[in-house]
Amino acid sequence: MDQIRADQVKLPKNQRYKIGDILSAIGLKKATYHDERKRIKNHTDKYADIKIKVKKITEDGKCRGRLTYGYRRVQDELIKLDVHIADAVVRRLMAELGVQVSLYNRHKNGKYSSYKGTIGKVAENLLEQNFNQAKPYTVLHTDVTQIRLGNHKWAYISAITDEASKEILAFQISNSPNRILITKTVDEQVTK
């Protein structure tokens, strides 16, 4: 809206678009437009002093030049300073300030990838995404599933299932997802 009006400043007044015409063309009420302009003009950041505190807390929590305080620790420090705001607000303010933890976290930031490009031969796509089979032993699926155990360790299940009968034909369990696990599963299927 403001851009259109700025572009038409040099035109004579009778050739300019009227505000009401532009607003009706874009489907915006006149009161909403003027209210938003007033809000933009009188904008004050109500979290300005809290942002300063958040910045100081995260700077104080640096270790070897890296940010180490997540939003929970920052929020705990803010509470000690008698500043009570919601955790979502702390996360938003930290994002605006760019002070999120930079240490590696494989479950959150997704920066680690073990992908090293195409290695080996790529099999031909014989199924062409048509997995509906009625004849048993025509299409077999295999997958490795990761399961967390009660002792906080991981177990890996490798299974081969038949598409037609949905039956599990072979499976192996291991404490590491390696080639040996897959080979044992395939060997179990072949020897049946």
- pLDDT higher than threshold 90 for residue 185: yes
Dihedral in degrees, nearest 10, Cα atoms 157, 160, 164, 166: -20
- Determine the pLDDT at residue 44: 80
Q: How many other β-carbons are positioned within 10 Å of the β-carbon of residue 74?
A: 23
Band of pLDDT at residue 4, cut at 50, 70 and 90: confident
Residue type, 11: L
- Determine the pLDDT at residue 146: 93
Q: How many other β-carbons are positioned within 10 Å of the β-carbon of residue 2?
A: 9
Between residues 19 and 156, the one the model is more confident about: 156
pTM of the complete model beyond 0.75: no
Please write the tens of the pLDDT for every residue from 65-116: 888 888 999 999 999 999 999 999 999 999 999 998 865 555 555 566 677 7
- Determine the pLDDT at residue 137: 87
Please write the tens of the pLDDT for every residue from 121-166: 888 888 888 888 888 888 898 999 999 988 989 999 999 999 889 8
Beta-bridge partner residues of 66: 63
- Determine the pLDDT at residue 103: 59
Between residues 44 and 49, the one the model is more confident about: 49
Answer yes or no: are the C-beta atoms of 189 and 170 closer than 8 Å.
yes
Residue 1: alpha-carbon gap to chain centroid: 34
- pLDDT higher than threshold 80 for residue 189: yes
- Determine the pLDDT at residue 110: 57
